[in-house]
Amino acid sequence: MSEEPRRISVVLFDGFELLDVFGPVELFSLVGDRMAVEFIGPEPGPVVSSQGVQVVATDSYEVATAPDILLVPGGQGTRRLVSDQAFLSWLRAWAEPASLVTSVCTGSAVLAAAGLLDGYRATSNKAAFDWVRRRNDKVEWVAHARWVQDRDRWTSSGIAAGMDMAAALLTHLFGSAVTHEVTTRAEVEIHEDPAWDPFAEIHGLA
């Protein structure tokens, strides 16, 4: 009997960053029936990205099944979400049973604002890093990191860094051979060192 697929629940919101979502989702989709991806939005139906592309959410926040692995992307919409107390309360409660809580880019600001990174190490987009770390001083913000794994929390730097984190997550879940097969099929060169981060220097953070 085959194992149940690991379920990735992606939280969509108006103004999410497209590559934050579909960089990781592309890699997740290449492991076949080992993973299942679902998109959760304010309501079922189209959700507009920062780039204007609409992505269809299959379930609303209100009725979404408790997540196995959740992913919160970044994007301009996070500037609003960090002050949306109703959303943050929902996210905090909904995320509680998750086995893994992940974010890409400024999605970590949303996790932090919801209290989901209290006592954890985390990183974020380096161009927005000062703004992100002001969301919560209970987080140990790591400026120089491509991504950070701290127990059941995974956070990545900006945008394309989400693919590196996703590859590391696949290795964590299924082993390096699976990740190698996936990245070869995608013809993508992954940074495997979480400390590789030239953008921290570029933005004067290290």
pTM for the full predicted model: 0.97
Q: What are the pLDDT digits (tens) for 34-68?
A: 999 999 999 999 999 999 999 999 999 999 999 99
Domains with residue ranges and CATH for the chain: 6-193 (3.40.50.880)
Average pLDDT along the chain = 97
Q: What are the pLDDT digits (tens) for 165-176?
A: 999 999 999 999
Contacts of 76 (CB under 8 A, 6+ apart): 15, 17, 50
Is pLDDT above 50 for 1? no
Q: What are the pLDDT digits (tens) for 147-157?
A: 999 999 999 99
Is pLDDT above 90 for 3? no
Rounded distance between C-alpha atoms, residue 21 and residue 37, angstroms: 11
Give yes or no: 127 in active site: no
The one catalytic residue in 105, 165, 167, 169 is 105
The position carrying tokens 């990245």 is: 183
Residues of the chain by 3-state class (helix, strand, coil), percent to 5: 35, 20, 40
Rounded distance between C-alpha atoms, residue 206 and residue 200, angstroms: 6
Is pLDDT above 90 for 2? no
* Residue 56, both tokens: 């269809």
Distances (CA, A) of 42 to 59, 91, 97: 8, 12, 20
Q: What are the pLDDT digits (tens) for 80-138?
A: 999 999 999 999 999 999 999 999 999 999 999 999 999 999 999 999 999 999 999 99
What single letter denotes the amino acid at residue 117?
L
Report the residue count for the chain: 206
Q: What are the pLDDT digits (tens) for 176-200?
A: 999 999 999 999 999 999 999 999 9
Confidence band, pLDDT 50/70/90 cuts, at residue 21: very high
Distances (CA, A) of 154 to 53, 77, 120, 161: 26, 20, 10, 12
Cβ count within 10 A of residue 150: 16
Using an 8 Å Cβ cutoff, are 10 and 39 in contact?
yes
